Structure formats: C-alpha cells, structure tokens
A and B are shown apart, each in its own frame.
Chain A
Amino acid sequence: GAVVSQHPSRVICKSGTSVKIECRSLDFQATTMFWYRQFPKQSLMLMATSNEGSKATYEQGVEKDKFLINHASLTLSTLTVTSAHPEDSSFYICSATPGGLNTEAFFGQGTRLTVV
C-alpha cells in the first residue's frame, strides 16, 4: 500500500510556543489530505481537509487561526499548532488520498503532542 509519513512522532513543547507537524505522501501525489485529532480512548475527529494549492476547509469548532494548515505541494501538508496550550495535547493524525472515486486514504503514524 501507499506510504504516508508523519513527523515528528512525538513532541513536547512549552505552553505558548508553536509546533509544526509534517505529513508527506512518499509514493503518490495526494490531492487531498486530512487532519484528525484523537483523544485518549476516543475516536478520530476530523479537524480539516486540505487540497493542494487552496485554503483548508475546517470542521465546525476547529479554530483556523490556531491550527494552521498548509498544503503547498502534492506530497506535503503541514499542521502548525500556534500558541499551544495544555488542552491542545492530543494525538494528531494525517491521512492522504490520491483523490477520486473509490480511493482509500492512507494514514500517517500520528504525532503525540504534549504541551507542558
């Protein structure tokens, strides 16, 4: 299957700082990438959908100024958590898809963010 690489896998940052998470599709061009958040013992919640070269579409309740998403190329999307606070601590997961009908999404390994 296709490979999606997410980096870093773990990050600890101080409250008030910003953290950037990268999501790369290694062997295919991802027209669309998705960012999810997973709280402990809970399901994945879609945060935003990003299409290459255009602004991300955020789900209701997700602050676009806090979670900056950039999808500058067909193989890279980044999520920047700005001015992080302890409540932003979570597991962030990206997925990428070549797009179109009947295509599956491929998931990155996830990033465990801890804000102290």
Chain B
Amino acid sequence: AQSVSQHNHHVILSEAASLELGCNYSYGGTVNLFWYVQYPGQHLQLLLKYFSGDPLVKGIKGFEAEFIKSKFSFNLRKPSVQWSDTAEYFCAVNGKNSGYALNFGKGTSLLVTP
C-alpha cells in the first residue's frame, strides 16, 4: 500500500535555528516527491519537487530536500528558520501507479518563535 509518513507532527523552533522535517514513503514504482507549505488561512504552495536527477533539490525561501532512495526518504531542511516560516508542511508523493494523484503525509506544524 502507498503511504507517506511524516515523523514530526509539531515542531517549535527559535528563529535562526536549523530545521529538518522527516518524510518517508512506501510506494511501488518510480516516484515523484514534493514538499508543500500551507500558511495560516492560505492555500497550498509548492516548496520544492523531485522528479529525477540530482537528489539534492533546492526550493523557494531557502528550503532544500534530499532524496535518499535507499532509505525511501525525502527530508526537508532549512539552515536558519524565520518567524515567517510558521506554517503547516506537507510531504507528498505521486507516480504512475496512483494515476499521479498526490498522496500526502499527515503534515508537520512548525511554529517559529522570535
């Protein structure tokens, strides 16, 4: 069965701290991997995506993620968070086996304190 697991449900960090959010997936076949962010009261925005090639992907707002195929992981990182990064973060996976429908993790709520 296809599944996406996000290990951290709630994360609280101080500004300038480093961030790493874990994401593991279980999926048959070739996958595409995504991280989305949902700011309070707003719709989903794409942070970054991996289709193929360099497993280290850089996205918007200083975020990056690394695809480690052997670990079925796609962890999101940011060296120094800001208060404005407070949001809900979703890891998602799709592929041909799912008709390219996105399968989302449960999300991680990040609170950055001043």
Contacts and interface: CB of A to CB of B under 8 A. Distances in A.
B106 A104 contact: no
Interface residues of A, number: 24
B75 interface: no
A46 B107 contact: no
A105 B102 contact: yes
Interface stretch (A12-20, A77-85, A95-103): A95-103
Contacts of B107: 42-43
B90 A43 contact: yes
Interface stretch (A21-29, A68-76, A107-115): A107-115
A95 B105 CA distance: 17
20 contacts: A32-B99, A34-B101, A43-B90, A44-B102, A44-B104, A46-B102, A46-B103, A49-B99, A95-B102, A99-B100, A102-B52, A103-B100, A104-B32, A104-B46, A105-B94, A105-B102, A107-B43, A108-B43, A109-B43, A110-B43
Q: How large is the interface on B (under 10, 10 to 19, 20 to 34, 35 or more residues)?
A: 20 to 34
A16 B94 CA distance: 36
Given A93-B43, A102-B32, A104-B46, A43 B104 contact: yes
Contacts of A45: 104
A44 B100 CA distance: 15
A111 to B, nearest CB: 10
A101 B94 CA distance: 10
Interface string B86-114: 00001000101001111111110100000
A95 B100 CA distance: 11
The residue in B43, B94, B105 that gathers the most chain A C-beta atoms within 10 A of its C-beta is B43
A32 B100 contact: yes
